[in-house]
Amino acid sequence: MTPLSAVGLETFYGKSHVLHGVSIEVREGEIVALLGRNGAGKTTTLRSIMGLTPPREGSVRAFGQLVTGLPPFRVAALGVGYVPEGRKIFGNLTVDENLRAPADRPGPWTLARAYQAFPRLAERKANKGSQLSGGEQEMLAIARALLLNPKVLILDEPSQGLAPLIVEEVFRIVRRVREEGASVLLVEQNVRAAVALADRAYVLDDGKVIYEGAAKDFAADEARVRELAGASAETWDLGD
């Protein structure tokens, strides 16, 4: 069963029309990179899939089930994990409480295993989320999403604002998640690293899919890579 497939998404924020017929698919066991400049509509695509900003037209399926218009917790309950842009950890909760917030779904991830996989979080267990560094917060956001035992994990710019060493760590975790059988949909500004990791890539521009194909074909197209990587490098510091 295809983990995720979105077809013909037309998504609006009020009157402003942001997605124009976006279709993307994540197949079983794949890492898919979703790329594009700032404001291209990457986050909006993810929000449309999760049911946070339901599309006005088009359909979203998770593991074959139609989820368009369903509330986010129902999408999540099917096994769709989500690490939002900007991490969105609960700053008023301790690390431990953050990790106990997700719903229980059967699977390999337990609190004990999460602390094993993220020893830094075990050390900071009793600290408030707001006291963590950016890297620790990202680890917490990922661990929190994994505790839902997702069969497909969506990550929105997990490396944003992080030191290179921590970015490597994030990418290592993404690889591990896939090795354990889950699929991954990864939004990244870090174009070269993302296409090196991914099986397939989509490029969004102005709310439309302008490229879709094997990640290694995209990586080989130096002109395309430089255009996109250059564009995002310029705005790297601006963030959101």
Partner 1 sequence: MIQLVLFGVFNGLIVGAFYALMAIGLSLILNLSGVINFAHGGFLALGGYLAYSLAPTIGFWGALLIAPLITAAIGLLVERLLVRPLYGRDPLYSLLLTFGLAFIFQDGLRTIWGAQSVPFSPPAAMMSPLSAQLFFLTGYRLFMMALVAIAVGGLFYVLGWTRLGLRIRAGTRDLETLSTLGVDVRVLRNLNFGLGIYLAGLAGVLAAGQLGLSPTMGDGLIMPSFVSIIVGGLGSLVGTLLGGLLIGVASGLAAVFFPSAQEAVIYVMMVAVLLARPRGLLGEEGRVH
Ligand X SMILES: Nc1ncnc2c1ncn2[C@@H]1O[C@H](COP(=O)(O)OP(=O)(O)OP(=O)(O)O)[C@@H](O)[C@H]1O
Q: Is 108 in the site for partner 1 (CB under 8 A)?
A: no
Which member of 4, 22, 40, 197 binds ligand X (CB under 6 A)?
Answer: 40
- Of 54-62, 90-98, 182-190, 198-206, which segment contacts partner 1 by CB under 8 A? 90-98
CB atoms within 10 A of CB 147: 23
CB atoms within 10 A of CB 176: 12
Task: Indicate the residue among 132 and 228 with the shorter CB distance to partner 1.
Answer: 132
Which member of 97, 205, 221, 227 binds partner 1 (CB under 8 A)?
Answer: 97
Q: Is 43 in the site for ligand X (CB under 6 A)?
A: yes
Q: Is 50 in the site for partner 1 (CB under 8 A)?
A: yes
Asked whether 140 and 128 are in contact (CB, 8 A), the reply is: no
Task: Indicate the residue among 18 and 203 with the shorter CB distance to partner 1.
Answer: 18
Q: Is 17 in the site for ligand X (CB under 6 A)?
A: no
Task: Indicate the residue among 42 and 61 with the shorter CB distance to Mg ion.
Answer: 42
Which member of 28, 123, 217, 240 binds ligand X (CB under 6 A)?
Answer: 240
Asked whether 139 and 131 are in contact (CB, 8 A), the reply is: no
Q: What is the DSSP letter of 144?
A: H
Q: What is the rounded (10 degree) CA torsion for 135, 139, 140, 143?
A: 180
Q: Is 167 helix (H, G, I), strand (E, B) or coil?
A: helix
Binding site partner of 13, from Mg ion, partner 1, ligand X, none, Cβ cut-off 5-8 A by kind: ligand X
Which member of 43, 68, 137, 189 binds Mg ion (CB under 5 A)?
Answer: 43
The CB-of-87 to partner 1 minimum distance in angstroms stands at: 9
Mark out the alpha helices in 184-221 (DSSP H runs): 191-197, 215-220
Q: Is 23 exposed, middle or buried (0-12, 13-18, 19+ CB in 10 A)?
A: middle
The CB-of-85 to Mg ion minimum distance in angstroms stands at: 5
Task: Indicate the residue among 71 and 164 with the shorter CB distance to partner 1.
Answer: 71
- CA gap 11, 22 in Å, rounded: 9
Q: What is the DSSP letter of 104?
A: P
φ, ψ dihedrals at 169, nearest 5°: -60, -45
The closest alpha carbon to 69, from 82, 59, 84, belongs to 59
Q: Is 137 in the site for ligand X (CB under 6 A)?
A: no
CB atoms within 10 A of CB 103: 10
Q: Is 39 in the site for ligand X (CB under 6 A)?
A: yes
Asked whether 83 and 92 are in contact (CB, 8 A), the reply is: no
Binding site partner of 38, from Mg ion, ligand X, partner 1, none, Cβ cut-off 5-8 A by kind: ligand X
Q: Binding residues for ligand X, per CB under 6 A?
A: 13, 16, 18, 36, 38-44, 85, 240
Q: Binding residues for partner 1, per CB under 8 A?
A: 50, 52, 71-73, 75-77, 82, 84, 88, 90-93, 97-98, 100-103, 105, 144-145, 148
